[in-house]
Amino acid sequence: MSANPPGAGLLSMEQLARLQALARELNPVQRAWASGYLAAGAGATAANDPASTAAELRATVLYGSETGHARDVARRLGEQLGASGAAVRVLGMGEYRPREIKDERFLLVVTATHGEGDPPEPARGFYEFLMGRKAPKLAGMQFAVLGLGDSSYEFFCKTARDIDARLEALGGERLCERRDCDVDFEQPAAEWSAAAVPLIAARLKAAGATAGSVTASEATAAATSPQASFTEDRSAELPAVVLDHLRLNGRGSDKATYHIEFDIDGSPVRHLPGDALGVVVQNDPALVAELLEPLGLGSDTALAAALGSGYEITALTPGFIEAYARAGEIGTLAELCAAKDRSALRGFMANRQIVDVVREYPVKGLSAQTLKDMLRKLEPRLYSIASSAEAAPGEIHVTVAEVQFRSRFGPRFGVGSGQLCRRIEPGTALQVYVQRNEQFRLPEDPATPVIMIGAGTGVAPYRAFMQEREVQGTAGRAWLIFGERRFRTDFLYQAEWQQYLKDGLLTRMDIAFSRDQRDKVYVQHRLRERGREIFAWLEEGACVYVCGDAQAMAPDVHAALIDVVAEHGALDAESAREYLNELTLERRYRRDVY
């Protein structure tokens, strides 16, 4: 026990002893509830009771997270602040009422970036509100922002940057500089937290906040939000054996999209429509050999094994080019990285993987460790689950589009999609896990109409939705708007959609095949054409889902929805945007884009 326990000096020794005895009796949930009870001013009669002052003078840690990293960092930050004697609550942006922000005095934001520089899906409502014209002035608020991202994306840590700049523009005072963390975020995030915590604790103390750690808001939110139904956002890894492996595209298609069925029979893991399957992927041994040979490391079998299962060796990043140029003293590559205008670097990266750079600029004498230090950890790949556990118990189906292009040295494939499309067959065993996605669930009320918009593999979760609704005998209306390249070869799961239409489970289907005519037609064109009905469905309470490509489709669909709402709701563009923001906050506009 510390020589000077928290609360000493504020409470009498007898009060302190009673409080400590009670705290020892309570389990963590009871402790969280009790601290919320006290922080909310329980038993206080006067408005200026010290307990309520302390509740106002807490720090709020808000996190924007899809796969849990930012959430875990935020929770640790909350614990550290609590341990330093500060009153603090930790909340996901999806559980936070954005209008509360005007009452915050100390706001810490930890957020990832997803899509193509987009906020994490649960954070979208908060983000849109903050960026919109209804955001309040924040003079008097002190804030700090920590970003999590991946520098291989063009818009590195964009959500954190945007929020940081916006909080300042709204009048907030920055407590400490933002830090943008790359994929190996643990250490920089810990360093940022270690520097920020004493600063924030001191400011809180100076402002008069003396209450101990409070995480009750999170406990309360967890007890009431649908996210509480899962304690973990990803299941433990489990073995899955390939049952079926079919190419969905017809002969002559320039795409390779596969329907893969896995047997997970006997696994206690439950998945729900909207969840994704995480697949632990392996590099192609032939690619590993092709990479090591020009470096003179071809005979290092231990290195080959390490690269095979542990390091990203496909997607090229500016970080790799920079490190490789430094290690090999390659002037041209160093200049490319140093140029202010990134377009030349972008051009260089097109149609090249790491192996292509190494073959073009072989460097002899690199040690195995130097090479590993340049590479990033190999991460599992996620695939939307395309089946319902009710309809296909013991199985998980996915729909995988192969990432492929030609470099000057030959055909190149993505590690995960390449493995799933080319290097497995019925009987192959893989390690997988279920990644929960509470943001992309069917409506709680099965009578709610659903509009499902998806291009390419974006249709996968809708197959799970329809299977679930069929098993449950759901009466709600359903509208599918699907896009791909060509009707004849690329209409994924065509027979199934047509059967659902025939059975009345699918009320409407609109299709957009971009390459069947001279002018390109995409799902967003169909939305505009059917604008009046789309708006009528929205007004009747429909939930709209968007799944698939984050780079082009999701922004174009968003723009089309704004136009539809503006035209058919007789609103200006800003009000139409706010209409969609409200839908997001009500969880009636849900996206799963990648």
Ligand X SMILES: Cc1cc2nc3c(=O)[nH]c(=O)nc-3n(C[C@H](O)[C@H](O)[C@H](O)COP(=O)(O)OP(=O)(O)OC[C@H]3O[C@@H](n4cnc5c(N)ncnc54)[C@H](O)[C@@H]3O)c2cc1C
Least Cβ distance, residue 350 to ligand X (angstroms): 5
C-alpha–C-alpha distance, residues 404 and 427, integer Å:
25
Which amino acid is present at 298? G
Least Cβ distance, residue 57 to ligand X (angstroms): 39
Q: Does 482 bind ligand X (CB under 6 A)?
A: no
- The listed partner (ligand FMN, ligand X, none) that binds 65, CB under 5 to 8 Å by sort, is ligand FMN
Per CB under 6 A, which of residues 175..214 are in contact with ligand FMN?
185
Q: What are the start-end ranges of the H helices in 448-493?
A: 460-472, 487-490
Q: Does 235 bind ligand X (CB under 6 A)?
A: no
Residue of minimal Cβ distance to ligand FMN: 149
C-alpha–C-alpha distance, residues 398 and 260, integer Å:
5
H, E, C per residue of 330-374: CHHHHHHHHCCCCHHHHHHHCCCCHHHHHHHCCCCCCCHHHHHHH
Per CB under 6 A, which of residues 63..82 are in contact with ligand FMN?
65-71
- The listed partner (ligand X, ligand FMN, none) that binds 148, CB under 5 to 8 Å by sort, is ligand FMN
Tokens of 344: 């030349």
In the complex with ligand X, the residue whose CB is nearer, 436 or 526, is 436
Per CB under 6 A, which of residues 85..124 are in contact with ligand FMN?
112-117, 120
In the complex with ligand FMN, the residue whose CB is nearer, 146 or 576, is 146
- The three-state secondary structure class of 507 is coil
Q: With the CA atoms of 384, 390, 394 and 397 taken in that order, what torsion angle do they form, in degrees rounded to the nearest 10?
A: -30
- The listed partner (ligand FMN, ligand X, none) that binds 153, CB under 5 to 8 Å by sort, is ligand FMN
Q: Using an 8 Å Cβ cutoff, are 188 and 110 in contact?
A: no
Stretch that binds ligand X, among 379-387, 475-483, 491-499, 515-523 (CB under 6 A): 379-387
Return the H-helix or E-strand segment holding 70: helix 69-83
- The listed partner (ligand FMN, ligand X, none) that binds 442, CB under 5 to 8 Å by sort, is none
- The listed partner (ligand FMN, ligand X, none) that binds 401, CB under 5 to 8 Å by sort, is ligand X
Least Cβ distance, residue 69 to ligand FMN (angstroms): 3
- The three-state secondary structure class of 123 is helix
- The listed partner (ligand X, ligand FMN, none) that binds 399, CB under 5 to 8 Å by sort, is ligand X
Least Cβ distance, residue 443 to ligand X (angstroms): 20
Distance of CA 552 to the CA centre of its chain: 17
Q: Does 150 bind ligand FMN (CB under 6 A)?
A: yes
The angle, 0 to 180 degrees and rounded to 10, between the axes of the packed helices 124-131 and 158-169 is 40
- The listed partner (ligand X, ligand FMN, none) that binds 421, CB under 5 to 8 Å by sort, is none
**Residue 19 to residues 14, 15, 89, 129: CA-CA distances in angstroms?**
9, 6, 21, 41
Q: Taking Cα atoms as reference points, which of 412, 382, 415 lies closest to residue 284?
A: 415
Q: Taking Cα atoms as reference points, which of 211, 199, 180 lies closest to residue 85?
A: 211
Least Cβ distance, residue 350 to ligand FMN (angstroms): 18
Q: With the CA atoms of 210, 214, 217 and 223 taken in that order, what torsion angle do they form, in degrees rounded to the nearest 10?
A: -160
- The listed partner (ligand FMN, ligand X, none) that binds 314, CB under 5 to 8 Å by sort, is ligand X
- The listed partner (ligand X, ligand FMN, none) that binds 417, CB under 5 to 8 Å by sort, is ligand X
Q: What are the start-end ranges of the H helices in 50-185?
A: 50-56, 69-83, 124-131, 158-169
Q: Does 40 bind ligand X (CB under 6 A)?
A: no
Q: Using an 8 Å Cβ cutoff, are 414 and 314 in contact?
A: yes
Stretch that binds ligand X, among 185-193, 408-416, 463-471, 519-527 (CB under 6 A): 408-416
Q: Taking Cα atoms as reference points, which of 438, 456, 434 lies closest to residue 551?
A: 456
Applying CB under 6 A, among 78, 418, 449, 454 the residue interacting with ligand X is 418
In the complex with ligand X, the residue whose CB is nearer, 276 or 333, is 276
Q: What number of other Cβ atoms are within 10 A of residue 374's Cβ?
A: 19
DSSP-derived secondary structure for 181-223 = E-SS-HHHHHHHHHHHHHHHHHHHHHTT-------HHHHHHHH
Q: Does 399 bind ligand X (CB under 6 A)?
A: yes
Stretch that binds ligand FMN, among 147-155, 202-210, 253-261, 469-477 (CB under 6 A): 147-155
Least Cβ distance, residue 71 to ligand FMN (angstroms): 6
- The listed partner (ligand X, ligand FMN, none) that binds 460, CB under 5 to 8 Å by sort, is ligand X
Pairing between β-strand 543-548 and β-strand 589-593 as defined by DSSP bridges: parallel
Q: Is residue 19 packed enough to be buried (19+ CB in 10 Å), middle (13-18) or exposed (0-12)?
A: middle
Per CB under 6 A, which of residues 295..314 are in contact with ligand X?
314
- The listed partner (ligand FMN, ligand X, none) that binds 112, CB under 5 to 8 Å by sort, is ligand FMN
Q: Does 350 bind ligand X (CB under 6 A)?
A: yes
Q: Does 463 bind ligand X (CB under 6 A)?
A: no
Q: Which residues bind ligand X (CB under 6 A)?
A: 276, 314-315, 349-352, 381-384, 399-401, 403, 405, 414-418, 457, 460, 592, 594
Q: Which residues bind ligand FMN (CB under 6 A)?
A: 65-71, 112-117, 120, 148-150, 153, 155-158, 185, 594
